[in-house]
Structure 1
Amino acid sequence: MTSTSFEAARTAIVAVGRWLDGKGWAPATSGNYSARLDDGGFAVTVSGRHKGRLTPDDVMRVDADGASLDGKKPSAETALHLALYRAFPDVGAVLHSHSPTAVGLSRAVAGEGYRLAGHEMLKALPGIATHDITVTLPIVENSQDMAVVETAIAPRLLESGAIPAYLIRSHGLYGWGCDMAEAERVIEAIEWMIAAELAERSFR
């Protein structure tokens, strides 16, 4: 697990917001990002802020229950971030992207997951050292009630061989890591593989 100071977390979250927006993965005010703090709390993005134009004032503190510690309003999906921190004590950062390819894949395929196999990019995911492997990217149904999403995804995350990512259908991608750099790498690798899968389908 990597925890960090609030000041360092704000700097990292502002930077990752600009990076994700530059990729086209944070349209309008979508997406939310967080980091585990060394005081036991969490830094999260303030609700409704454009992620490509974040400032340090757009990052706030919440406690382990998601309650605001500075009077600002946290992202509506803070509960999903906190569920990951509770389930995985080694997680230090969580990112939520909204690329058109990830959302498109989640809408185009049926079922509770999508298999990724044979990609060299699989080696970017923690614990994977070969392309010669098949993993499943879980897909759960969307809901405005975060407790419904959390209940649906929780058992999938604890399955043997689970990867640190999942899709919410018609919504977007969650990815996480021991620190912000690893969370970024997970999001970028999954997004790249989704784009490659859709490109392959277009040639069939």
Structure 2
Amino acid sequence: MDNILNTSWQHPREQVAMVISRIYRRGLTTTSGGNISVIDEQGDIWVTPSGIDKGSLTIDDIVCVKADGSIIGRHKPSSEFPFHKAIYEARPDVKAIIHAHPPALVSFSIVRQIPNTNIILQARKVCGPIGYADYRLPGSAALGDVIAGEFKKGFSAVIMENHGTVVGGSDLADAFLRFETLEFSARTILYASMVGTPNFLTNEQINDFDEHLVQLPVMEKAEHPSDERAIRHQICNIVRRACTQGLMTSSYGTVSVRWRGNDFLITPTDVPRWDLQASDVVQVKDGCAEPGKVPSRSALMHQKIYATHPHINSIIHTQSTYLMAFASSKANFNVRTIPESWIFLQDVHKIPFGQQFGESEAIIGQLSKSCPALLIENDCILVTGDKLLQTFDYLEVAEFSAKSLVLAASLGEMVPISDEQVEDLRKAFIKE
């Protein structure tokens, strides 16, 4: 399991080693591909080495290129170091850089396109406008010039023609958030294109989002008995598990668990999901949020769900790649693929974008024991259940089903389980 990425306390070499390992294990770069750097307060640049296995890098492998040009370390710095240096010189506000060859973004780079980040709600805000750097020889000064030129224009994420992508951030956590979100957007567009036609949000829909948010009142003081603290750790474990398995990204994902009565605990707003700690989780009691924290923007909806549906004790809503292919297109997500999928999920309905705000009756009214999951257009999959692990299992089953449908699209028309077979499943497994 990853350690927490707290850039305020970790040495740059620890940050770089951890994030390159995270990227490699998520399948977003290869053994030899990609590089990461951080520039510190002295102007020293800590960068991944050249020619060393990305799957087994340690902090001792990270190279320091001093401000005076001298090198400290047992390896050579990355062959792409020149463009890292050029970016830092062009943009003093950039303190960390990630370059890699994630498959979806490489797909865009080889057809000379930039992904439209309006495919999901938060991506335009996280990624900002995307630059485009014409092809130059890898490792060359010319490549550094064209990339730095894009950063000088104000871009913090750049598609590299026939190469990959490079992103910068105010620190490494910020850069990773941008990198992961941009690749997720690209994958969502690609998979949505395989099952239908991608549907993009308008700028107005995205800009209007904050106007619909309603903050909970704040309690004077929160108490944390042992059963409450146990739930915090359950939530953190599930969130990190979801991130590791590609079911959640740093920039999006909410988990809540009923505590006592209609009181519950929920993930916060604006804390990267990879880095969530138990102390970040927010208690909501008697309709009021724990002081000093900002609960998920969907806290009001979760509160209403718990009050309306006594059988629901945990909620997850997140963006997982294959499910978002259906949420971001008109394609029907038909879970009548294998018996387990229908038994757990039954028929998953799709809610129009914009109806997920506040105490959304469109969502709350749809949920039931026979309808534990909903897709919200261009936003998320929402899954409910009893125990948190059960809810997470439902999420996994839904994503596996969606993946099977996306992959099957290239083979031929789906042949679902018949109505008669579904009725047999209902009689054998569904308790009314």
How far apart are the structure 2 equivalents of 1:83 and 1:123? 25
| Alpha-carbon distance change, 194 to 139 in structure 1, aligned in 2, over 3 angstroms | farther
Aligned to 1:95: 98
Q: SS at 2:67's partner residue?
A: coil
- Tell me the secondary structure at the aligned position of residue 75 of structure 2: coil
1:116 partner letter:
N
Say whether residues 1:191 and 2:183 are aligned partners. yes
* Mapped partners of 2:173, 2:190: distance in 1: 26
Partner of 2:124: 122
- Is it true that 1:170 corresponds to 2:162 in the alignment? yes
Give the AA of the match of 2:104.
Answer: T
| Partner-residue secondary structure (3-state), 1:176 | strand
Among candidates 171, 175, 183, match of residue 179 of structure 1: 171
Instruction: Specify which structure has the higher proportion of strand.
Output: 1
Contact 1:4 1:37 in 2 (8 A): no
Counterparts of 1:192 and 1:180 in 2: how far apart (Å)? 18
The Cα RMSD (Å) is 2.3
Q: Could you say which structure has the larger radius of gyration? A: 2
Moved more, 150-159 or 33-42: 150-159
CA distance in 1 between counterparts of 2:68 and 2:143 reads 17
Matched, 1:8 2:11: yes
Secondary structure in 2 matching 1:53: coil
Within 5 Å, give how 1:46-85 maps onto structure 2. Answer: 46-64=49-67, 66-70=69-73, 72-85=75-88
Structure 1 pair 117–124 and aligned structure 2 pair: CA distance change class (3 A): closer
8 Å contact kept, 1:80–1:150? yes
Residue 181 of structure 1 aligns with an amino acid whose one-letter code is A
**Residue deviations 1:36-80 (CA, integer Å, cap 9, x gap):** 123321111111112221111210110236542346311000111
Q: Distance in 2 between matches of 1:165 and 1:136?
A: 5
Contact 2:80 2:139 in 1 (8 A): no
Corresponding residue of 1:132:
none
Alignment partners' CA distance in 1, 2:73 and 2:178: 30
- Contact in 1 for aligned 2:157/2:168 (Cα 8 Å): yes
Structure 2 unaligned spans of 5+: 1-6, 198-432
Query: Residue deviations 1:65-118, cap 9 Å, x none?
Result: 654234631100011111111111121111112111111111123xxx625252
Unaligned runs of 5+ in 1: 129-134
Report SS of the residue matched to 1:51.
coil
Do structure 1's residue 148 and structure 2's residue 142 form an aligned pair? yes
- C-alpha distance in 2, partners of 1:77/1:193? 25
1:33 match:
36
1:200 and 2:195 are equivalent in the alignment: no
- State the TM-score, normalized to the length of structure 1: 0.81
Counterparts of 1:167 and 1:66, CA distance in 2: 28
Higher relative contact order (CA 8 A, sep 6+): 1
Counterpart residue number, 2:111? 108
